[in-house]
Amino acid sequence: MYSPSKKKRKFDKWILKAFVLAFVLTLVFATISDTVLLDAGWILAIVVIAVLMVVTVFFDMIGTAVMIADPVPFHAMASKRVKGARNALRVIKAQNMVTSICSDIIGDIGGILSGALGVGLAITLLSEKGAWYDPYLSIFVSACIASLTIALRAFVRGIAKKRSQKIVWRMGLMMIPFVSESKNKKGKKQKTRQVC
């Protein structure tokens, strides 16, 4: 029997898990970036910011693809025992959690850290030239990073909308080493085939 209270408890638990996951990931990413950039030059700072931006837009693309993917083709693929189809269905079934982790948690963390590193980059550039801190340079660098990130996220979301099925299926294939195949009643793995 459907119970609204159970659904609410499950939702509350996910909020807590999302908070803890975001907190831990922020600590990890911030520690790594600070360690790498400690006494580093502006070239390395740009590389780290670029990596964060790529990670941000990549996971945003995954989150968008999972949210709009149609499960019907994967049901047909799973009935034909196509490799990765059942895992793709698992991903779509958990689309709210997957989208929240990829687009919201990782995406927002990457955006925030990129902006913070942009300020650090401005300070590094000024210190190498022996100049005092200039807030206008920091604002300019942060604006460039934010606008570029937004543009890239819009671009990859367009790709995700056009190729959502293929992206989710690729995720299903990548999950195979970590998620066991469905088994039949005899306990043997079902034979699967690869789609070209």
What pLDDT sits at residue 167? 94
What pLDDT sits at residue 73? 92
Question: Which amino acid is located at 20 in the chain?
Answer: V
Question: Which amino acid is located at 176 in the chain?
Answer: I
Which pLDDT tens digit goes with each residue over 94-104? Answer: 888 898 888 88
Range of the domain at 67: 16-175
Task: Give the per-residue SS3 of 1-33.
Answer: CCCHHHHHHHHHHHHHHHHHHHHHHHHHHHHHH
In a domain? residue 120: yes
In a domain? residue 93: yes
In a domain? residue 194: no
Residues facing 183 on adjacent strands: 189
CB contact set of 182 (below 8 Å; sequence gap of 6+): 86, 190
Judged on CB neighbours under 10 Å (0-12, 13-18, 19+), 112 is: middle
What pLDDT sits at residue 185? 42
In a domain? residue 154: yes
What pLDDT sits at residue 146? 84
Judged on CB neighbours under 10 Å (0-12, 13-18, 19+), 81 is: middle
In a domain? residue 193: no
In a domain? residue 9: no
Say what the pTM is. Answer: 0.74
In a domain? residue 43: yes
Query: Which residues of the chain have a pLDDT value below 50?
Result: 1-2, 184-192, 196
User: Mutual orientation of helices 71-79 and 85-93 as an angle, nearest 10°?
Assistant: 150
Q: Which two tokens stand for residue 186?
A: 């005899």
In a domain? residue 2: no
Question: Which amino acid is located at 179 in the chain?
Answer: V
> How many separate domains does the chain show?
1
